[in-house]
């Protein structure tokens, strides 16, 4: 990891480096993704099966693409019972948290004869993408499906890659069953996104696609946005630890590496007011890297996107954290709750030395599908809201409309929309004798 004095210039340089990881900069792959989308849209299953054969080296057909009840039953036998128990415990926490996000329709009325309101309606069909490349993510299954089901989505379709034997990871299948997936299909990559966006003979068209994925998945989601809704275009994982001299360097080092191990493009940043802590964290990181299983990925990630920033004071450190707007932000300071009140931009905030990022990934309850690449400045974590839409309700009695009709007509005429004005005025025409 590079150790850098925190300045406006160094922060700017880091941001420029991090933004190079954004899916908006993956232009060289766009033509390939566009070709996949176009072929699946035009040819349906034929193209879907062909791309699965080409990219995943596995043969799927209309008879084998959907996971069967027997395969799910087999998965339960293959997964360690203790893991199944943990999945069920995590589900309780995730459901409990997301149930608090649920919104209801509302209406207000007045004595002058008006009624206004908002009708909240769940989406009908949602597609969930679960990656299956460098790691396996049953936790992402829970985080996508649970808020959809709490919102009241009728039909949840899940797509995830299978292995060369045509099998989906059993832990992923168990998580899908426990969370309430209605259908699971053995396809991944951009072709899976295309299938859910446009529909094929085997996979139904959905209204919205959620879930993270690799570069090709991210670009495919970006391209189909408009044909369907999407949650966000996720970039590589990120963590920023904001720490002072009170932090435990071993804990900080471990937490930074928990995100760096995702892939070579993951980012791990420490912003601290203590040079002594910075030195100790660097030593601890070097020690951990030698012992951990994903050593090669960790080394590459830290080399390219790992930073230790040394700030003059806490206010400067907080300003840098807000500017970087990390996916995950840990606050490990003397008074973390006070610092938290000054944080404006972060996907998820973890407070205190015992609230490490993996707690949020797996168990605490808040969603771990979060904005990346600085988009925490304007995006939020995946939530129940993502699976609902809102319709405005308007009712005016004749008496209520009569009181304001001239105002509306004036407004419409000011915009030179005479048909708008007429739509109101015609209701108050004076009848000729």
Please give the positions annotated as active site. 327-328
Q: Report angle CA 331, 234, 185 to the nearest 5 degrees.
A: 125
Specify the DSSP class assigned to residue 225: B
CB 98 within 8 A of CB 147: yes
Q: How far apart are CA 52 and CA 161, in angstroms?
A: 9
Q: How far apart are CA 294 and CA 203, in angstroms?
A: 35
Q: How far apart are CA 226 and CA 230, in angstroms?
A: 8
Q: How far apart are CA 38 and CA 230, in angstroms?
A: 18
Cβ within 8 Å of residue 130, ≥6 positions away: 137, 140, 141, 144, 158, 159, 160, 172, 176, 211
Q: How far apart are CA 363 and CA 251, in angstroms?
A: 19
Give the DSSP per-residue string, 335-347: SHHHHHTT----S
The residue whose two tokens read 């105002």 is 407
Q: How far apart are CA 88 and CA 380, in angstroms?
A: 26
Q: What are 371's two structure tokens?
A: 């904005």
Q: What are 289's two structure tokens?
A: 């890297």
114-122 vs 388-396, strand pairing mode:
antiparallel
- Rounded to a whole number of angstroms, the CA Rg of the chain reads 26
Torsion from C-alpha of 241, 245, 251, 254, nearest 10 degrees = 50
Taken in order 324, 329, 334, 339, the sign of the CA dihedral is: positive
């Amino acid at each position: 990891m590079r150790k850098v004095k925190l300045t406006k210039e160094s922060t700017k340089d880091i941001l420029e480096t991090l933004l190079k990881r954004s899916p908006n900069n993956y232009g060289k792959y766009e033509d390939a993704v566009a070709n996949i989308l176009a072929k699946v849209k035009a040819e349906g299953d034929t193209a879907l099966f062909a791309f699965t054969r080409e990219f995943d080296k596995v043969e799927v057909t209309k008879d084998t693409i959907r996971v069967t009840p027997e395969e799910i039953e087999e998965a339960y036998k293959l997964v360690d019972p203790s893991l199944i128990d943990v999945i069920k415990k995590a589900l309780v926490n995730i459901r409990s948290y997301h149930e608090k996000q649920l919104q209801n329709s509302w209406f207000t009325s007045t004595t002058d004869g008006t009624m206004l309101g908002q009708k909240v309606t769940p989406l009908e069909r949602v597609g969930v993408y679960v990656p299956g490349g460098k790691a396996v993510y049953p936790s992402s299954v829970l985080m996508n499906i649970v808020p959809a089901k709490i919102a009241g989505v009728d039909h949840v379709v899940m797509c995830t890659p299978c292995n060369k034997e045509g099998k989906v990871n059993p832990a992923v299948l168990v998580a899908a069953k426990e969370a309430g997936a209605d259908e699971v299909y053995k396809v991944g990559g951009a072709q899976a996104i295309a299938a859910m966006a446009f529909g094929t003979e085997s996979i139904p068209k959905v209204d919205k696609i959620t879930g993270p994925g690799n570069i090709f998945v991210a670009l495919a989601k970006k391209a189909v946005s408009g044909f369907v809704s999407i949650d966000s275009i996720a970039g590589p994982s990120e963590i920023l630890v904001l720490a002072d001299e009170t932090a435990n360097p071993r804990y900080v080092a471990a937490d930074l590496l928990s995100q760096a191990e995702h892939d070579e493009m993951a980012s791990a940043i420490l912003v601290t007011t203590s040079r002594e802590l910075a030195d100790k964290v660097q030593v601890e990181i070097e020690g951990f890297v030698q012992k951990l299983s994903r050593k090669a990925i960790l080394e590459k990630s830290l080399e390219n996107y790992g930073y230790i920033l040394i700030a003059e004071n806490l206010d400067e450190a907080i300003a840098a954290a807000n500017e970087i707007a990390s996916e995950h932000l840990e606050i490990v300071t003397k008074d973390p709750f006070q610092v938290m009140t000054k944080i404006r931009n972060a996907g998820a905030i973890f407070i205190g030395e015992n609230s490490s990022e993996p707690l949020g990934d797996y168990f605490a309850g808040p969603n771990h599908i979060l904005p990346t690449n600085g988009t925490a400045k304007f995006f939020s974590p995946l939530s129940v809201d993502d699976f609902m839409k809102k319709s405005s309700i308007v009712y005016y009695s004749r008496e209520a409309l009569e009181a304001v009709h001239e105002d509306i007509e004036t407004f419409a005429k000011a915009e030179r929309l005479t048909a708008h004005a007429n739509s109101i005025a015609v209701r108050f025409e004076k009848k000729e004798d």
